[in-house]
């Protein structure tokens, strides 16, 4: 009942509206009927007038002919000019097209004397026999259609032509003009037809296409047979009438009226729309006006109701908006999210706008479909579980703990979702409050993490101390123990050498342990930085081979280095750190691979992010002991070593992989491991390097080597060589066995197109590289340089190879730079005939040199003095930086060959001393090589030394190999001074 009352006004309005429509329809139907009747009456009236006018016209023509007849009868001379003039006057007045004298034999003549014939058909009988005036159609020669009005005349003669009747003709076009009316929008057609339907006249513009309109009506109209019968009956009985029918798709009114002469009928055909067009316009205007009036009245009646309703609705909406706005403002300043859903369809009625800030979900998106929140859910996939919501009783509530992730930032937040099921204005709603618990959750997590960290740190500390205790004590124990034994057996040289060797080994191990601990400490404290400089990748790989091949060889392992593709040779990076990473990985592989095992080291180029970068992947794959899945998770953690019967026998600090991982991270790369116990491990490091500018080696190759032959049983290597050298403009041919290489070289020789260089793999199935070289020399001669490409130490075959005619060796993997180093001297020999200067440091490079050593530690100074002396070099010691500066400043030019500078010294440290030396006025102040010799061995220490003006850096304890190498490099441009000695 309450609902009925609510809709009562609408029902009443609908009833009133329906009544108005029914009354309107009835009224307009009545009006339409009246309008149609008036319109057809109008049509009849208009064409009645036309018909009467046409009748008068016909009557007048016959009157005209009668007057002509009288005139001719009175004329004394029927061929006289008077008749001609009379007719000409009448023609001017009446406008007929021609006048005819007609003879009873059908011939006719015009007043000008032009004779022809006229076929009047049945009308002729009326005219001649029954002496009645006639009106008929006639087609003249040439096709012109005319209507002829003829009347009997008293027999006479005109221009010797005997006539019995006279006639005038009008062109049908002229005559039709008299039937045209301006009404009916020009859409009316009017015909004068015989009662059989044949058309005499038509008002159609330009002529007529109708021969018989009755036939046309029968063919195309929708009039039924009875209608036709009635109409034809009317036509035959000279009765007027009006019919409605469709012609094609258009309704027409067809009005027929007897003309009153013979059987002629005036037929008017007008589209029904045109008949009542004017009235319809009035009708439509009336309808429009009435409709407007009704609408106005209705609007006036309804307007107050609508206005009041709208006002109330507007106020409600405003109040709602205010509330929503206020709630929006309140919710925007809190981290709780509020939603209201329709319980029936789960549509969102309200959602607080802070959902975008807190969860990254646009409000509109959430409003359209609340399910979008599922995208943020971390631990609760169905955010609003329908079943569980339905289970909440009305006025009850339920809550869940939820974790969400911000869509944009990935930030995680924790909420307690409380759902209240309630009824608001008789509509059931779910009000959902997501209370932010993030702070509490994070605090709890932090507390847990802190607890875990503390426990872990404690455990790590214990482990560390335990490891350190063990790892330091072990070599220390050896050092102390063998030192005691050394003292005891000092007189036995054999034992002294044995003990010294063991003390040295233990010292080295202890040193590496300390280095690793310090490295790790430095990295973890975030103080490690990279020393980026240009370096040669081939050199790096060569150095790795030099260092690691002996180790692998000692365990009878195969260590092969592959370079896939053609990575650039010169790159920018921290060579020292990269070396460290790769040595760690490779030495681990050697370490954890049993004797006779296989280790592959692969360098491959990956697509780089930008043209100025190169991305390299270093893969170290072994078939060693492998790692368990659990250990793989902690392999990069400090002090982690897998416990097994094998590893227990292997020395190590457990810091190497942690350092490696940290260094890779520092260099912005990634390191991954795949392993299976007993099957081996694969470590993959991916790093990006900046590319330096080109060094122009391509030009060198292009100018000297046009063609070269490569033979290697591994086709990939041949392809790599071809790619690398092809880029340098060299045309590379390759074969995959030694015999083919010989064949190719001989064929080229016989063509007179010797290769400029032949590069042969050492170990190939069948004919190996050395044998192939021998055969080539026998058949081709000595002119072509032949080089051997090998990944093995060629020392064992060098003598035999050179006897076979091999000029040089190129290490695998193939690089343009190493190839150039090998080939350059050969080309120099060719051009300068044994005048090529020797490159590289000569043995005994330190012999005869005098060093200024700045070292505050007396023991270190003593050790260094002894070591230099062992190399045949002398030194003078300064105990601090100040003294070193003074000694150098006071020295004669050329006195010292080099300064070895400790960094941490009292009075003046090594950096300051170096700067002062470089700034002093000594002639060699800027050129004297100064090398840091310090226990500070980190990258920034190296950089600081170079920044201070030093030329190199050597770490303590002193490694004489490194000293020799550096001294050789720095001093090879100056000959050793004479008489250098220690002081």
Partner 1 sequence: MNARRFMAWLPALAAALLLTACSGPSDQDGATLSVMGKKSDLNKSYMTSILEQYEQATGNELRVIAYEDAEYETSAERDFANGDAPDVFLHFHNADLDRFDADENFYYLNDESWVSDLTDSALAYCEDTDGNVMGLPFWENSVSGCYYNKTILDSLGMRPATTQAEFDMLCQTLTDIGYTPICWPADGCTWMFQFAMDPIFADDPALLERLNKNEITYADIPAVTDMVQWIADAAEKGWFGRDYMSIGWDEIGPVMSSGGAVMTFIWDTWFYTDFAADGAYAKEDFALMPVFMDTVDGGTYEGGNLNMMMVNKNSAHLEQALDFLAFCAAPEHYNKAFDGISTVNCFKGQTTNIQSQMVTDASVSIEANERVSTAASKIVGYSAEDVASALKSLLLGQTDVAGCVQMMDEYRIRQAGIQGAEGFPAPPDQSAGG
Residue among 247 and 863 whose Cβ is closer to partner 1 = 247
CB 217, min distance to partner 1, A: 8
Binding segment (CB under 8 A) for partner 1, from list 222-230, 248-256, 408-416, 952-960: 248-256
Q: Pattern 629-668, binding to partner 1, x per CB under 8 A? A: ----------------------------------------
CB 146, min distance to partner 1, A: 13
Residue among 204 and 817 whose Cβ is closer to partner 1 = 204
One DSSP character per residue, 218-232 reads: HHHB---HHHHHHHH
Contacts of 285 (CB under 8 A, 6+ apart): none
Residue among 156 and 197 whose Cβ is closer to partner 1 = 197
Binding segment (CB under 8 A) for partner 1, from list 114-122, 247-255, 324-332, 651-659: 247-255
- Pseudo-torsion of CA 367, 368, 369, 370, nearest 10°? 0
Residue among 269 and 603 whose Cβ is closer to partner 1 = 269
Residue among 197 and 624 whose Cβ is closer to partner 1 = 197
Which residues on neighbouring strands pair with residue 535, listed in sequence order? Answer: 571
Residue among 142 and 979 whose Cβ is closer to partner 1 = 142
CB 141, min distance to partner 1, A: 9
CB count within 10 Å of CB 704 equals: 16
CB 244 within 8 A of CB 251: yes
Which residues on neighbouring strands pair with residue 430, listed in sequence order? Answer: 341, 421
- Pseudo-torsion of CA 352, 357, 363, 366, nearest 10°? -90
Rounded to whole angstroms, the Cα distance separating 357 from 338 reads 13
Residue among 205 and 750 whose Cβ is closer to partner 1 = 205
CB 208, min distance to partner 1, A: 7
Residue among 213 and 683 whose Cβ is closer to partner 1 = 213
Q: Is 809 helix (H, G, I), strand (E, B) or coil?
A: strand
CB 657 within 8 A of CB 636: yes
Q: How many residues contact partner 1, by CB under 8 A?
A: 24
CB 44, min distance to partner 1, A: 24
CB 187, min distance to partner 1, A: 12
Residue among 248 and 840 whose Cβ is closer to partner 1 = 248
Choose among 506, 609, 529, 523: nearest CA to 576. Answer: 529
Q: Count CA within 13 A, CB hemisphere, residue 934.
A: 24
CB 215, min distance to partner 1, A: 3
248 interacts with partner 1 by CB under 8 A = yes
- The enclosing H or E element of 337 equals strand 337-342
Residue among 248 and 975 whose Cβ is closer to partner 1 = 248
CA 296, chain centre distance (Å): 59
Which residues on neighbouring strands pair with residue 451, listed in sequence order? Answer: none
Residue among 173 and 717 whose Cβ is closer to partner 1 = 173
Q: Pattern 192-221, binding to partner 1, x per CB under 8 A? A: -----x------xxxxxxxxxxxxxxxxx-
Residues from 103 through 142 that contact partner 1 (CB under 8 A): 142
- The enclosing H or E element of 137 equals strand 134-139
CB 41, min distance to partner 1, A: 27
CB 229, min distance to partner 1, A: 18
Q: Residue 536 burial (CB < 10 Å; 0-12/13-18/19+)?
A: middle
CB 47, min distance to partner 1, A: 21
| Cα distances (Å, whole numbers) of residue 359 to 353, 367, 386, 405, 747 | 10, 14, 22, 7, 76
CB 193, min distance to partner 1, A: 10
225 interacts with partner 1 by CB under 8 A = no
Helices 2-74 and 81-94 pack at an angle, to 10 degrees, of 170
Instruction: Report CA Rg, the chain.
Output: 61
Residue among 252 and 849 whose Cβ is closer to partner 1 = 252
Q: Is 653 helix (H, G, I), strand (E, B) or coil?
A: coil
CB 139, min distance to partner 1, A: 9
Burial 370-384 (b: 16+ CB within 10 A, else e): bebbeebeeebeebb
Contacts of 86 (CB under 8 A, 6+ apart): 68, 71
Tokens of 743: 């064949």
Residues from 361 through 390 that contact partner 1 (CB under 8 A): none
Rounded to whole angstroms, the Cα distance separating 135 from 121 reads 12
Residue among 268 and 681 whose Cβ is closer to partner 1 = 268
Strand order in the sheet with 952-955: 874-878, 850-854, 898-901, 930-934, 952-955
Which residues on neighbouring strands pair with residue 88, listed in sequence order? Answer: none
Q: Pattern 391-430, binding to partner 1, x per CB under 8 A? A: ----------------------------------------
CB 142, min distance to partner 1, A: 7
Binding segment (CB under 8 A) for partner 1, from list 22-30, 246-254, 755-763, 948-956: 246-254
CB 60, min distance to partner 1, A: 29
CB count within 10 Å of CB 910 equals: 29
Residue among 152 and 197 whose Cβ is closer to partner 1 = 197
Q: Is 916 helix (H, G, I), strand (E, B) or coil?
A: helix
CB 665 within 8 A of CB 651: no
CB 175, min distance to partner 1, A: 16
CB 192 within 8 A of CB 201: yes
State how beta strands 558-564 and 397-405 pair.
unpaired
SS (H, E, C) 604-652: EEECCCCCCEEEEEEEEEECCCCCCHHHHHHCCCCCCCCCCCCHHHCCC
CB 211, min distance to partner 1, A: 4
143 interacts with partner 1 by CB under 8 A = yes
Residue among 252 and 922 whose Cβ is closer to partner 1 = 252
Residues from 38 through 77 that contact partner 1 (CB under 8 A): none
CB 252, min distance to partner 1, A: 11
Choose among 97, 176, 95, 167: nearest CA to 134. Answer: 167
CB 782 within 8 A of CB 805: yes
Rounded to whole angstroms, the Cα distance separating 719 from 758 reads 15
Residue among 62 and 235 whose Cβ is closer to partner 1 = 235
Residue among 215 and 284 whose Cβ is closer to partner 1 = 215
CB 205, min distance to partner 1, A: 6
Residue among 143 and 678 whose Cβ is closer to partner 1 = 143
254 interacts with partner 1 by CB under 8 A = no
Q: Is 280 helix (H, G, I), strand (E, B) or coil?
A: helix
Q: Which residues bind partner 1 (CB under 8 A)?
A: 142-143, 197, 204-220, 247-250
């Amino acid at each position: 009942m309450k609902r009925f009352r609510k809709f009562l006004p609408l029902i009443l309005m609908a009833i009133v509206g329906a009544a108005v429509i029914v009354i309107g329809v009835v009224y307009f139907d009545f009006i339409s009927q009246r309008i149609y009747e008036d319109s057809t009456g109008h049509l009849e009236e208009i064409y009645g007038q036309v018909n009467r006018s046409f009748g008068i016209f016909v009557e007048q023509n016959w009157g005209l002919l009668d007057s002509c007849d009288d005139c001719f009868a009175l004329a004394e001379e029927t061929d006289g000019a008077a008749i001609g003039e009379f007719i000409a006057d009448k023609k001017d007045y009446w406008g007929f097209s021609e006048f005819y004298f007609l003879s009873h034999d059908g011939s006719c003549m015009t007043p000008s004397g032009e004779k022809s014939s006229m076929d009047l058909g049945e009308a002729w009988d009326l005219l001649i026999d029954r002496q009645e005036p006639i009106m008929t159609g006639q087609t003249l020669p040439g096709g012109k259609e005319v209507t002829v009005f003829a009347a009997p005349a008293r027999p006479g003669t005109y221009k010797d032509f005997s006539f019995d009747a006279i006639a005038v003709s009008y062109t049908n076009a002229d005559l039709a003009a008299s039937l045209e009316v301006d009404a009916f929008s020009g859409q009316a057609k009017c015909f004068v037809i015989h009662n059989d339907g044949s058309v005499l006249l038509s008002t159609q513009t330009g002529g007529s296409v109708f021969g018989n309109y009755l036939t046309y009506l029968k063919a195309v109209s929708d009039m039924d047979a009875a209608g036709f019968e009635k109409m034809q009956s009317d036509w035959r009985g000279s009765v007027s009438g009006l019919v409605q029918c469709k012609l094609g798709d258009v309704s027409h009114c067809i009005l027929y009226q007897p003309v009153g002469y013979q059987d002629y009928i005036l037929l008017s055909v007008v589209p029904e729309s045109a008949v009542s067009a004017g009235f319809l316009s009035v009708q439509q205007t009336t309808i429009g006006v009435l409709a407007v009036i009704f609408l106005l009245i209705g609007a006036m009646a309804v307007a107050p109701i609508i206005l009041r309703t709208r006002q109330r609705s507007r106020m409600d909406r405003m109040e709602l908006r205010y509330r929503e706005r206020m709630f929006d403002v309140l919710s925007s300043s809190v981290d709780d999210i509020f939603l209201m859903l329709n319980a029936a369809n789960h549509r969102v009625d309200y959602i607080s706008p802070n959902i975008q800030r807190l969860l990254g979900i646009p409000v509109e998106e959430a409003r359209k479909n609340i399910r979008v929140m599922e995208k943020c859910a971390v631990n609760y996939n169905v955010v609003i579980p329908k079943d569980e919501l339905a289970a909440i009783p009305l006025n009850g509530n339920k809550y869940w703990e939820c974790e969400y992730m911000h869509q944009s930032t990935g930030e995680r937040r924790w909420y307690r979702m409380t759902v209240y099921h309630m009824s608001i204005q008789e509509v059931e709603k779910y009000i959902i409050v997501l209370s932010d618990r993030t702070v509490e959750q994070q605090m709890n997590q932090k507390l847990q993490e802190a607890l875990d960290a503390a426990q872990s740190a404690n455990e790590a500390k214990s482990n560390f101390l335990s490891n350190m205790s063990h790892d330091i004590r072990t070599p220390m124990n050896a050092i102390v123990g063998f030192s005691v034994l050394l003292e005891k057996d000092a007189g036995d040289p054999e034992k002294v050498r044995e003990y010294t060797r063991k003390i040295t080994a233990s010292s080295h191990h202890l040193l590496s342990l300390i280095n690793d601990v310090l490295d790790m400490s430095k990295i973890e404290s975030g103080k490690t930085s990279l020393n980026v400089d240009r370096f040669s990748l081939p050199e790096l790989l060569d150095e790795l081979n030099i260092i690691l091949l002996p180790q692998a060889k000692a365990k009878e392992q195969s260590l092969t280095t592959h370079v896939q593709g053609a990575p650039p040779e010169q790159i920018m990076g921290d060579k020292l750190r990269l070396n460290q990473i790769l040595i760690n990985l490779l030495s681990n592989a050697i370490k954890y691979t049993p004797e006779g095992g296989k280790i592959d080291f692969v360098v491959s180029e990956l697509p780089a992010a930008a043209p100025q970068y190169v991305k390299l992947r270093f893969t170290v794959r072994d078939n060693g002991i492998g790692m368990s899945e659990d250990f793989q998770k902690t392999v990069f953690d400090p002090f982690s070593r897998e416990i097994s019967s094998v590893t227990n026998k292997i020395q190590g600090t457990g810091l190497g992989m942690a350092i490696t991982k940290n260094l890779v991270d520092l260099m912005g790369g990634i390191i991954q491991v795949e392993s299976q116990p007993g099957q081996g491990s694969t470590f993959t490091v991916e790093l990006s390097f900046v590319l330096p500018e080109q060094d122009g080696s391509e030009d060198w190759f292009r100018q000297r080597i046009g063609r070269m032959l490569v033979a290697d049983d591994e086709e990939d290597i041949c392809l790599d060589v071809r790619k690398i050298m092809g880029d340098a403009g060299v045309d590379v041919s390759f074969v995959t066995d030694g015999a083919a290489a010989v064949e190719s070289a001989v064929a080229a020789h016989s063509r007179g197109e010797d290769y400029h260089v032949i590069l042969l793999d050492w170990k190939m199935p069948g004919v190996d590289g050395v044998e192939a070289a021998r055969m080539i020399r026998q058949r081709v001669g000595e002119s072509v340089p032949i080089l051997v490409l090998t990944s093995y130490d060629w020392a064992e075959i060098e003598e035999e190879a050179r006897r076979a005619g091999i000029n040089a060796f190129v290490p695998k993997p193939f690089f343009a730079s190493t190839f150039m180093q090998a080939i350059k001297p050969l080309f120099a020999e060719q051009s300068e005939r044994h005048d090529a200067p020797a490159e590289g440091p000569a043995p005994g490079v330190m012999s005869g040199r005098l060093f200024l050593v700045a070292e505050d530690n007396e023991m270190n100074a003593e050790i260094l003095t002894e070591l230099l002396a062992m190399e045949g070099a002398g030194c003078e010691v300064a105990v601090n930086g100040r003294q070193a500066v003074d000694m150098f400043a006071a020295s004669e030019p050329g006195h010292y060959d080099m300064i070895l500078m400790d960094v941490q010294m009292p009075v003046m440290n090594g950096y300051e001393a170096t700067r002062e030396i470089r700034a002093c006025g000594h002639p060699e102040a800027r050129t004297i090589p100064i090398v840091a010799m310090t226990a500070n061995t980190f990258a920034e220490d190296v950089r600081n030394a170079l920044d201070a003006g030093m030329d190199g850096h050597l770490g303590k304890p002193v490694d004489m190999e490194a000293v020799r190498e550096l001294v050789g490099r720095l001093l090879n441009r100056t000959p050793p001074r004479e008489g250098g000695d220690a002081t």
